[in-house]
Amino acid sequence: MGLLSVVCVSLFFSSTFAVDRGNFKTCDQSAFCKRQRALKPGQSPYRALLETLELSDSRLTLQLINDNNKVHLLLELYRLQGNMTRVKINELKPLRPRFEVPDVLIAEPPTEPLSVLSKDDNGVVLSLGAKNQRLIVSARPFRLDIMQGPEVLLSLNSRGLLAFEHLRLHKDTDKEEDGLWEETFKSHTDTKPNGPTSISLDFSLPGVEHVYGIPEHADDLKLKTTDGGDPYRLYNLDVFQYELYNPMALYGSIPVMLAHNTQRTMGIFWLNAAETWVDISSNTAGKTVFGKMLDFVQGSSEKPQTDVRWISESGIIDVFIMLGPKPSDVFSQYASLTGTQSFPPLASLGYHQCRWNYNDQEDVKSVDQGFDQHDIPYDFIWLDIEHADGKRYFTWDPHKFPQPKEMLQGLMDKRRKMVAIVDPHIRVDSGYKIHNEITSKDFYVKNKDGRNYEGWCWPGNSGYPDFTKPEMRAWWSSMFAYDQYEGSMENLFTWNDMNEPSVFNGPEVTMHKDALHGKWEHRDIHNIYGLYVQMATAEGQTQRSGGVERPFVLTRAFFAGSQRYGAVWTGDNAAEWDHLKISIPMCLSLGLVGVSFCGADVGGFFKNPSTELLVRWYQTGAYQPFFRAHAHLDTTRREPWLFGPENTALIREVIRQRYALLPYWYQLLYQAHKTGMPVMSHKYCFILHECTFSFLSCLRPLWVDYPKDTATFTIDDEFLIGSDLLVHPVTEEGSRGVTAYLPGAGEVWYDVHTFQKHNGAQNLYIPVTLSSIPVFQRGGSIIPRKDRVRRSSACMENDPYTLYVALSPKKFAEGELYIDDGHSLNYDTKKEFIHRSLTFANNALTSSNLCPDCNFLTSSWIEKVLILGASKPSKVLLKMDGKETPVDFEFDTSMSVLTLRKPGMNAGADWTLLLQ
């Protein structure tokens, strides 16, 4: 292929506005999925050999035998701290090692003792500790059941779909059908040198009708049954302008599913990085007789049940069962395994302006000036692939960007920043330093014959660095040093795109599965490639500052654990109303499995949005964690001021709303980093407990703490930000009203724009105009804002706070205030931050220190306090430093809003406002 072919590929990608589903496999076209799915529920061939049982303090091992082929497997069971169980199944004596996923778990999970309660010829009963939880191993056929008292929580292999394709030698007499040793899709042949290696296991969840998670899919929040269609697919792929409401694979894969009912929430984490398919079916539980060790037979009532089957192409079975019982427990359990959301720089929570591509330095300067001229704040401007010299990453086009430091300094002078794309496909060019160093260090992925793997991507013929190698990642990180990445400065950050990896001329637009990463095939590691790219990039940004500054890295491909390294966006969407709508459940699904820092391209990447759609998308994006506008090369320019003064004013207003709320967003990301709780929460019923402020129990209560309201289980067109803001974006064209569900019997919600109070546990119809963004603050909460909005977040660093105190019916409210320098790691390494509890009770608003041994000073002060749902006091006193000082106030009788003006306390001080 020559340059003309590259141009043709580029034109294909830039001019095609619908996914070609023929480029991507269905289950029937994936040989292992088709084979496994052909197995029907029934009697399992696997039997537990109880005489092989060995038990240490925290680990049980037991051999399984397949009575059809006499292959032995090794079962390992672990009881983990935090109410989790780990199940591993591998071949007892594999022909060669099978891949086990590294670098995803933050550490080997700590265990707790296992003990045998009873054992006979039919099985063994193990104690799982608290609350009468037991694990029952049935011998013939093999089956696992986790129980609490008489209740079955979860069963493994109850449908007999455990299937483990053992490694074997290829014999000339072997039949070649079903793609056992070779498989062709379109023009690509997968040689499968190790033969069939797939694995499968089924899970049954009695009493469960609602399951969530396993992103990334452009689908509803509640997962659908897959009977009669394809399973959900987890296989990182470059699917431009993806279709909606189907189980096709997209850019990222997180093999975590949450199961929820009004009594319990549980999670299943399937730790496997190979291509994976997930079948979901609904069933009726309560019809199965257990072994003799159970002294009961479940009733015959029509109890709902969800059955889930996981199928992966290679590797081993390594599954973590997170037993909750509350959703918040599951989040904590998963975070203990894979880590929490990275704590990003404050600026990254501001507004990001991007397109493919800003043409040159003058274009960047002009766009930057446009924001100032139209009084619209922003923090980051982005450069796509055209900024580099011939798409050689870590370089600058010498004609379009001849003086990158001058450009970056101009942004820095305004306290703004830039993101430049650095993709993991490297132009094969003997004059390119990056390519030469990777070649000399032998860091490229190999093809099946041992030569460097090459494929086509944006630069043309490209090599793909082997990010699975720690030494390759270390070298990549070193390339972000200021003396290596010429023209870079401390206000330049990074975007990792195309890291599925995308290979234009590869099977399914990705890498051949028989490519080699050392001794492992690409089929084994495919879904963690993107995680490794972001990991190495984030580490490089930290290293370049001597370990002082926080990184900011956006990634398109991701896996379990990616939350530790930065932000994620939902990929190449389109300027269509349905794509706006789907951005909500897509980000909610990511939040449920640890990735809090998520957003979608505002306006849609492909096509040109109508003015109404663009305004509505800004209004939605401003209330999602990652807030970036982005557009395709072929779209018309759409900077916020190009749609007439009225629409410019609407967009300006919602961006300013985002900036006013930055203190709240920042505190939420800090909480997500410290606790693993999602920032953007689906609005299951949240019921505030009136209680004394407590960091552990009441600091940031979520819907997951009280998920009793079944009416909310399938709603995904509105959401909570933390626990205190409820947002119902307007996502219907021409809408004149929306109906929002306000949860919480006995609670109240305040419209943040009008301060009107509404009762919880009701559907509220809200008339809307193009300027409307229905947002409500929960009664019982305190939200800090900075209402003096400037051109960037850094310019607001020392500006004063306004506290919005929304009282519950019991005249109680709580919140918090978190402040640090906004960019360094000193909050962690030196405890340089302010963390304060804000509590309103007994007609007193109090600020107290949550971290007495922390050390940080701020110039910010409290310039205003609004108390919603208040009664008129006769006077207000500020009690501080042993003195009492009168405070001016106004009271709006019609709305019951008390406004305290310029009380003047430092934001880091202890104080109390007394209402008398």
- Out of 497, 514, 709, 716, the active site residue is 497
Tell me the two tokens of residue 593.
């499995």
Give, to the nearest 10 degrees, the angle between helix 529-544 and helix 470-478: 40
Q: How far apart are CA 870 and CA 549, in angstroms?
A: 43
Residue type, 521: E
- 318 by DSSP, 3-state: which? strand
DSSP 8-class letter at 215: -
224-234 b/e (C-beta count within 10 Å ≥ 16 → b)? bebeeebbbbb
Question: Any catalytic annotation for residue 429?
Answer: no
Of 300, 257, 299, the C-alpha closest to 276 is 257
Q: Identify the residue whose tokens are 């040159």.
A: 360
Measured CA to CA, the distance from residue 93 to residue 73 in angstroms comes to: 8
The residue type of 175 is: K
- 138: CB partners within 8 A, 6+ apart: 48, 122, 123, 144, 145, 290, 291
Nearest to 682 by CA among 730, 723, 622: 723
Q: Report d(CA 93, CA 272) in Å as an integer.
A: 20
Tell me the backbone φ, ψ of residue 236, rounded to 5 degrees.
-60, 120
Amino acid (one-letter) located at 896: S
Q: Are strands 862-868 and 801-806 parallel, antiparallel or unpaired?
A: parallel
Tell me the C-alpha distance between 598 and 646, whole Å: 29
SS3 category, 763: strand
Token digits for 114? 């296992």
**Secondary structure of residue 12 in the 3-state scheme:** helix
**Neighbour count for residue 176 (Cβ, 10 Å):** 9
Q: CA 766 to CA 736: how far, in whole Å?
A: 9
Q: How many residues does the chain have?
A: 916
**Do the beta carbons of residue 868 and residue 896 sit within 8 Å?**
yes
What DSSP state is assigned to residue 186? T
Phi-psi region of 247 (alpha: psi -120 to 50; beta: other; left: phi over 0): alpha
- Tell me the C-alpha distance between 466 and 529, whole Å: 8
Q: Which of 202, 220, 238, 572 is catalytic?
A: 572
725 near 776, Cβ under 8 Å? yes
Neighbours of 741 (CB within 10 A): 19
Residue 502: strand pairing partners: 510
Q: Helix (H, G, I), strand (E, B), or coil: what is residue 366?
A: helix
Phi, psi at 581, each rounded to 5°: -60, -45
Rg (CA), the chain: 28
Distance between CA 827 and CA 819 in Å, rounded? 9
Backbone angles phi, psi at 689, to 5 degrees: -95, 125
Catalytic residue flag (residue 724): no
**Can you tell me which residue has the tokens 């809003």?**
897
* 3-state class (DSSP) for residue 630: coil
Q: Name 518's Cβ contacts closer than 8 Å, sequence gap at least 6.
A: 466, 468, 469
590/252 Cα distance (integer angstroms) = 10
Positions marked catalytic: 497, 572
